[in-house]
Structure 1
Amino acid sequence: MNHADALPIDPLKEPFLDALDQGPVVVSAATGSGKSTRLPVWALARGPVLVVEPRRVACTALAGFLAGQRGQAAGDDVGYAVRFDTACTDQTPLVFVTPGIALRWYREGRLKRFTTVMLDEFHERRWDTDLLLALLKQDGGHRLVVTSATLDGPRLARYLDAEALHSEGRGYPVNVRHHADNDRQMPDARDLPPRVREAVRAGLADDDDGDVLVFLPGRREIQQAATALASLDAEVLPLHAGVTGEAQRRALTPGPRRRVILATNVAETSLTIPGVTLVVDAGLERRTHQRNGRTVLSLTPISQASADQRRGRAGRTAPGRVIRLWGENAPLEARTPPEIQREELGELVLAAACAGRRAGVLDFPDPLPAHTLDRAERQLNALGALDADGRATERGHALFALPVDTFFAHLIVAMADATAQGFMVDLAAALSARRRPLTLPRDEDGRRALADWEPRPCDATTLVRAVRQVPPDALKPNRAARDEARQLATQMRALLKLPGLPASLDEEVPAILAAALAANPRAAFLRREKERRRDAMGNGGEEVRVGEDSRFPEEAQAALVLDSHSLPGKGTRQTLTLATCLAPVPVQALVEQGLAEPETGGVEWHDGEPVVTRHWYYAGRRVHTDTARPEGAAARQVLARLILDGDCLAPAGERLMDDLDAWRLYLALGHDQGDAPEAAPWLARRLGELGVENLDDRALLEPRDLRFPGIPDWERQRFDEKYPRFVALSDLKMRVHYQIARRRVELEYRSGSRKAAPRRWELPAWSGWRVRYRKASRVVDVI
């Protein structure tokens, strides 16, 4: 090896190979040490190697670099596989892949040909990388290598029962300065573009001709910073997961002019950007976390480990400088929590099940939160993706086979025909691309052009049309995002054996949306009634706000929400969910699909037949009112009331009331144990047991069918004689009330001509009971 090509990791070669022969190996090595390029090549001495990189940019760049060192193109001895782009065969000995590809290969058995599997940059702690490590650890069929620049190596080594190796790396001195109002100021997005411009200009003014790397949280901030830096005498280049291959090559290759590279944290690890001597760090990233049971995306300060990682980028090839846009003593958290503890676990649980494992029994480097795991399993059970034992069903395997979110995969699989499936495939592709192919124009001219091109004010149809047809230039489509969506749609159509992408949108969209509504009823949302909250919509359990980029019209009341994202709201607990893809649906569809709950009003008689008024409610709002002949439970409730009022099947109602009164008294006297039901609910249940579904079924009933099985028949006559509920004398009829605790009988006047109270000798014996007589407000003792 040429001494000039030596890397800091090189002294670990023999210890690494010795350790690899004994079991798993954990390698922690500083940024720029060469771990991502040397370790895979060394491991080839033991057989084919698969390297799992968290990011597509790193996969293609590392494979291209190593292939170039051999004088080859990627795909011969060194290859890669990422979404939409594969440069390898089943014989390529060294392959770089993303975690999603690795999990699919695991399920298909394609990982078995690799002797060594290396999980690079494991400190990013993606859920798919954690799952892959847990699966490989349980299988024990590969030589495992786990690497990172910031990893807690000893802790992971204990988890894997592995040998831990460490390389210090080759670092040049790096001077760190902080640009902040006070030494505890946290990273902040306010006024970020001008603060970045000031820091970059200050750095460029120093006597240094190196390149500048600026860490920013996302593409929007990169665009804003690029605008702010446009007047610099330097080449300003973006670097993030969405840049083209040519833009990536320019960012990773020295040029004739001084460069300012604006990057997300894709540049933290794996990728070496030559010539960088100044790092400007905004100290921010977009990170998911759990809030009120939802995964929300927040702009968050980075951890101290990430700050150290970014600092290392300035001293790879020469002494460097770092300008941090926060206070020197800002209380950054030590490490970024893993995704499995920050996000919903549906994708992980399904991926594990499709690999033949139950996520809850796998041994992860950090435990899965029990409540998040339980919620994910319940949701997948509801979709029919898991059986009662947590195994993936045929439907679950079908969902996992599609390279989109489980929600979209479920909608695709649920469609009944190829046309509807194709529509959902194209929509899912548009929503799964890294950016939307088309966004809502802000200006009036753009809005008119959009209405001319796609008249329906529906986000779903607009996006499907944008995938199938080239939008007019006036709409400023994102061509790279459209190409990505078309690639994904073509890939899924091939997987499902559907026709190729059509050039038109001729489907019966309302029927497709109705099918989608039936497949996922929780996606149906209804506007709130209050005028000041018209942009709020609910489904009875969640609330969303209509996003600014939605075409959902003001006059529409109900929508199928097909995409949304959650953000932190006010305070420490509020979560704001923005609906970003809405498809209007008729309010009546909520009733027709059985989503609205009916409340039955009173019975009215029309032409001798009873009808009921029904009010249908969804998410707390009345959506429909109608009148109908009672059916099902409503019919049984109506018939029960008719029977109890004596208007039907007499004297069944009167006898039932007496049976229940007798049973209450029987229980109160301590002759048996149990409860005495209310007459109407019991009768409605009994009618259900008898199969009553409509009022016409009353013709099949007999009064004796409705007897209450309370006091045994052999005892009933004796009990009624001793404790009658009515007493009738020749000129006086009375209702009898028993007050058990007081041993008191009260006779209530009902009818008759007698003026005086009854005499005791005229009444049943009631030995030991005090008897009173009440007529109107007058109460007297009976003697």
Structure 2
Amino acid sequence: MDALQQGHAVVTADTGSGKSTRLPVWASEQGATLVIEPRRVACTALAGFLARQQGTALGEGIGYAVRFDMRCNSDTPLVFATPGMALRWLGEGGLQRFRTVILDEFHERRWDTDLLLALLQHQDHHHLVVTSATFAAEAVARHLQAPLIEAEGRRFPVTLQHEAKDERQMPESRHLAERMARAIKRALSQTHGPVLAFLPGRGEIRDTEQALGDPGVPVLTLHATVDAESQKAALAEDGGQRVILATNVAETSLTIPGVTAVVDSGLERRTHQRNGRTVLSLAAISQASADQRSGRAGRTDAGTAIRLWGRGAPLEATTAPEIQREELTELVLAAGCAGTPASALRFPDPLPEKAHNAALEQLQRVGAVDEAGVATGYGQRLFQLPIDSFFAHLISAMPDADTQGAMADLTAALSTRPRLFRFPDKEDQRRALGDWLPDPCDATTLIALLRNRPPAPLSVNNQARQEAHQLAGRIRDALALPGIPNEPVSNPDHLRRAIARAAPELVFVRREKRRQAMGNDAREVLPDEASRLPEEAEAALVLDEHSTPGKRGHRQTITIATCLAPVPLAILDELELGEVRFGEMRLEDGEPRVRRERLYANRVVSSEDTIPAGSELRNALAELILQGQLLPPVGDRVQADIQQWALYVALGHGEGAVPESAQQWLCQRLQALGVEEPGDESLLEPGDLAFEGIPEWERETFDRRYPRRISLGDLVMDVTYEPAARRITLDYRHGPRRTPPKRWELPSWKGWKIRYRRASKVVTVQ
């Protein structure tokens, strides 16, 4: 309290010591207090716990604010909020009433909490309290120029058990559910209290729950989207022995009473950059996280922690902050919406320059921020939408209200966790889905499921569908779009083409040999087995994806595309994606013909014979001339003239520009002669393409001194000159002679090193 009177404070103490419950109450005695919690479940649970403890109605004395759920008003003295809500309030000036802002669980080092710390420090309107169970507290205290307050918690010894026989074995996902179930049952036999099991996500929680069967005690789940009743049961103080299957929300954000046994998978879902985009993948936790998790077993009594990896596994010491692992588009836009460019802020760790510049360029390209990095009106509108800025821009980039609305509905369905629908793998369910929605597109299927309940035997996650429907409505309201219709997308092809035009990087094509994989020019994905994308589809938009460990464990990742929308290969030509290359040039009926191919993701996606025009015509004609098919022997003469001119200039006999190649010079010369349309080549004369290099009166002497081919009767050789190295290479061309030439047989090349090359053998000419 003394530190808070003076300014900022940094507080570190063990998990479960009361940082998230005592500090907010004490701070609110000095004025309105905002507590920023990284997770929704922590916001609602902590606010509810304190409201009951303080005997006040939730939303009056103590409240919370999370997406789609706000139990507070402009007078509530103590409010728990997620970072996203706090950033939006800050941009609107809504944080002015709070005397103190507490940034809880700062050790997680999310980009939004790092940004909030930088913005609040920059504005200097609040007393800041930064709290955590464990992190480099001294560094943050120095950054804030604040005192560091440490409180030693009450700890009991925790016995560590490692399951892997190989001491160096890293955490892995193979047979995870079965291994977790065995370890949990053993933990139940070793303790009389709750068993807390850490898993990376809801899918793994579901699989482990099935693998457990009936362990004889209640099995509860705890994750970001769990309903209030399940959350209450998991956090109950007198719940007796039970199993709580949790994500890392239970690592530090919430304390589960009475736990004396922890089972740890050693895995988490963590963001990282892949080709400039942030993806979520399965990764091994850090040693600091492992210690946090095992410490949960020693809060009230001696406990046991069972770890599913080897005792000597080389875990990272700590997890790098998100700003060093992710793309920074959201951060740069959020800072700009708060009126301060990200480049003007002081962060606990510097922003990576490459990622910051890439984010700034992307936002400037779509008109979301100005040259200084401050948000435009368009950027402000994008940020107000509670979705990723990429999808917000994609909605705005749609050409009409119908496609904008459809994109809003799709974004809402993709942004909701858990997913509102899992595409069926049973034949009768797939048949029912096909009868209801014949269009084999994951994107339009999700839109239809958001708009209407599917027929039996299909089912959706009703809670997720309700949240997605609510989010879609909010997006439509913000953009003044019509309400959500009841019918599926009326023109799926029009929607898919609009998305491809707005974000061509989403277009992927099948690999020619590995048909199960798809790629664009930067990355590769594998379609989800549950995707509706037909096997015969050669191209698709990849609208959602996740990463998973490959066969070599967490050090290799595979990207699974979970929402695909088929598009025709022809769209790559329409969007001019990839690169165009020209195949063999030839004359047909006296006219040049060229095979034009479009290459995308190392695959030829279109090919046609064309009669070229403009630059393509000039390139074709130049190649035909150099091949000797047109105006022979002009091609040989031009190549020889340019080669000799380059040598002439390099030896200091003259000055002037040297063409990069004979092809380039011919194209430039043909352009100067006005060659634009098929038929123009019929007007060309050999003299039109004469290269004026070495003066005519010097040329014969120079060629004798520096020939390009030498014939010794029984040995013919091509000659290559390297003036900078003063080296000449003689390459065997033909002739019965088996021995190298002698120096006296060759021109008088004084001061040059001469070598003779035949096949792979190179010898010095003496």
> Deviations 1:131-176 (Å, cap 9, x if unpaired)?
211222222222111011123322221121111112224x363553
Cα gap change, 1:745/1:310 in structure 2, threshold over 3 Å: closer, same or farther? closer
Q: Report the Cα distance in structure 2 between the residues aligned to 1:601 and 1:633, rounded to whole angstroms.
A: 15
Contact 2:170–2:310 (CA under 8 A) maintained in structure 1: no
1:636 matched residue in structure 2: 618
Amino acid at match of 1:739: D
Q: Does 1:738 align with 2:673?
A: no
Amino acid at match of 1:430: A
Q: Report the Cα distance in structure 1 between the residues aligned to 2:251 and 2:636, rounded to whole angstroms.
A: 83
Q: Report the Cα distance in structure 2 between the residues aligned to 1:569 and 1:647, rounded to whole angstroms.
A: 53
SS of residue matched to 1:110: coil
Q: Report the Cα distance in structure 1 between the residues aligned to 2:219 and 2:623, rounded to whole angstroms.
A: 80
> Deviations 1:635-665 (Å, cap 9, x if unpaired)?
3335667999999999x99999999799769
> Deviations 1:539-579 (Å, cap 9, x if unpaired)?
22222222212111111111111122233435586542222
Amino acid at match of 1:458: C
Q: Report the Cα distance in structure 1 between the residues aligned to 2:636 and 2:285, rounded to whole angstroms.
A: 76
For normalisation by structure 2, the TM-score amounts to 0.82
> Deviations 1:322-370 (Å, cap 9, x if unpaired)?
3323579545544333222333333323333333444455322223344
Report how far residue 60 of structure 1 moved: 0.9
2:520 matched residue in structure 1: 539
What does 1:555-566 align with in structure 2 at a 5 Å threshold? Answer: 555-566=536-547
SS of residue matched to 1:739: helix
Cα gap change, 1:608/1:23 in structure 2, threshold over 3 Å: closer, same or farther? same
- Correspondent of 2:598 among 599, 607, 616: 616
1:125 matched residue in structure 2: 109
SS of residue matched to 1:474: coil
SS of residue matched to 1:233: coil
Contact 2:201–2:269 (CA under 8 A) maintained in structure 1: no
Contact 2:162–2:311 (CA under 8 A) maintained in structure 1: no
Q: Does 1:222 align with 2:205?
A: yes
1:246 matched residue in structure 2: 229
Report how far residue 96 of structure 1 moved: 1.1
1:59 matched residue in structure 2: 43
1:46 matched residue in structure 2: 30
Contact 2:409–2:472 (CA under 8 A) maintained in structure 1: yes
Largest Rg, 1 or 2: 1
Cα gap change, 1:263/1:704 in structure 2, threshold over 3 Å: closer, same or farther? same
- Correspondent of 1:36 among 4, 10, 20: 20
Amino acid at match of 1:457: P
Amino acid at match of 2:204: E
- Correspondent of 1:439 among 396, 400, 422: 422
For normalisation by structure 1, the TM-score amounts to 0.80
Question: Which range moves more in the overlay, 62-71 or 173-182?
Answer: 173-182
Q: Report the Cα distance in structure 1 between the residues aligned to 2:259 and 2:586, rounded to whole angstroms.
A: 85
Amino acid at match of 2:447: V
2:506 matched residue in structure 1: 523
Cα gap change, 1:744/1:234 in structure 2, threshold over 3 Å: closer, same or farther? closer
2:432 matched residue in structure 1: 449
- Correspondent of 1:162 among 139, 142, 146: 146
1:265 matched residue in structure 2: 248
> Deviations 1:349-405 (Å, cap 9, x if unpaired)?
333333344445532222334444455445545555455555545554444333222
Contact 1:178–1:327 (CA under 8 A) maintained in structure 2: no
Contact 2:37–2:104 (CA under 8 A) maintained in structure 1: yes
Cα gap change, 1:655/1:478 in structure 2, threshold over 3 Å: closer, same or farther? same
Report how far residue 120 of structure 1 moved: 0.5
Amino acid at match of 2:149: L
Contact 1:117–1:142 (CA under 8 A) maintained in structure 2: yes
Amino acid at match of 1:31: T
Q: Runs of 5+ in structure 2 lacking a partner?
A: 711-744, 748-766
Cα gap change, 1:392/1:633 in structure 2, threshold over 3 Å: closer, same or farther? farther
Q: Report the Cα distance in structure 2 between the residues aligned to 1:300 and 1:609, rounded to whole angstroms.
A: 60
Report how far residue 537 of structure 1 moved: 1.5
- Correspondent of 1:325 among 307, 318, 321: 307
What does 1:547-626 align with in structure 2 at a 5 Å threshold? Answer: 547-571=528-552, 574-601=556-583, 611-626=593-608
Q: Report the Cα distance in structure 1 between the residues aligned to 2:347 and 2:93, rounded to whole angstroms.
A: 21
1:752 matched residue in structure 2: none
Q: Does 1:463 align with 2:427?
A: no
Q: Report the Cα distance in structure 2 between the residues aligned to 1:692 and 1:104, rounded to whole angstroms.
A: 60
Q: Report the Cα distance in structure 1 between the residues aligned to 2:200 and 2:640, rounded to whole angstroms.
A: 76
Cα gap change, 1:300/1:609 in structure 2, threshold over 3 Å: closer, same or farther? closer
What does 1:14-163 align with in structure 2 at a 5 Å threshold? Answer: 16=1, 18-163=2-147
Cα gap change, 1:679/1:328 in structure 2, threshold over 3 Å: closer, same or farther? closer
Question: Which range moves more in the overlay, 277-286 or 353-362?
Answer: 353-362
Amino acid at match of 1:631: A
Contact 1:118–1:146 (CA under 8 A) maintained in structure 2: yes
Contact 2:197–2:262 (CA under 8 A) maintained in structure 1: yes
2:720 matched residue in structure 1: none
Q: Does 1:480 align with 2:463?
A: yes
Q: Report the Cα distance in structure 1 between the residues aligned to 2:604 and 2:250, rounded to whole angstroms.
A: 53
Q: Report the Cα distance in structure 1 between the residues aligned to 2:311 and 2:555, rounded to whole angstroms.
A: 27
Cα gap change, 1:228/1:647 in structure 2, threshold over 3 Å: closer, same or farther? closer
Q: Runs of 5+ in structure 1 lacking a partner?
A: 1-15, 726-735, 747-778
What fraction of aligned residue pairs are identical, expressed as a percent?
Answer: 51
Amino acid at match of 2:422: T
Amino acid at match of 2:24: P
Contact 2:585–2:595 (CA under 8 A) maintained in structure 1: yes
What does 1:155-234 align with in structure 2 at a 5 Å threshold? Answer: 155-169=139-153, 171=154, 173-178=156-161, 180=163, 184=167, 187=171, 189=173, 192-205=176-189, 208=192, 210-234=193-217
Contact 1:49–1:95 (CA under 8 A) maintained in structure 2: yes
> Deviations 1:470-499 (Å, cap 9, x if unpaired)?
123422322222222212211211111111
Contact 1:295–1:566 (CA under 8 A) maintained in structure 2: no
- Correspondent of 1:514 among 489, 494, 497: 497
Amino acid at match of 2:383: F
Amino acid at match of 2:8: P
Amino acid at match of 1:52: I
Cα gap change, 1:575/1:683 in structure 2, threshold over 3 Å: closer, same or farther? same
SS of residue matched to 2:471: helix
Amino acid at match of 2:601: A
Report how far residue 119 of structure 1 moved: 0.2
Contact 2:520–2:600 (CA under 8 A) maintained in structure 1: yes
Q: Report the Cα distance in structure 2 between the residues aligned to 1:174 and 1:253, rounded to whole angstroms.
A: 24
Cα gap change, 1:192/1:327 in structure 2, threshold over 3 Å: closer, same or farther? closer
1:280 matched residue in structure 2: 262
> Deviations 1:274-305 (Å, cap 9, x if unpaired)?
4x242322242313264765655454443343
What does 1:347-358 align with in structure 2 at a 5 Å threshold? Answer: 347-358=330-341
Contact 1:178–1:328 (CA under 8 A) maintained in structure 2: no
Contact 1:288–1:342 (CA under 8 A) maintained in structure 2: no
1:733 matched residue in structure 2: none
Amino acid at match of 2:558: L
Report how far residue 504 of structure 1 moved: 0.8
- Correspondent of 2:480 among 497, 511, 527: 497
> Deviations 1:65-120 (Å, cap 9, x if unpaired)?
23334443322232211111112223323221111111222222222332211100
2:388 matched residue in structure 1: 405
Amino acid at match of 1:271: L
Cα gap change, 1:649/1:112 in structure 2, threshold over 3 Å: closer, same or farther? farther
Question: Which range moves more in the overlay, 108-117 or 424-433?
Answer: 108-117
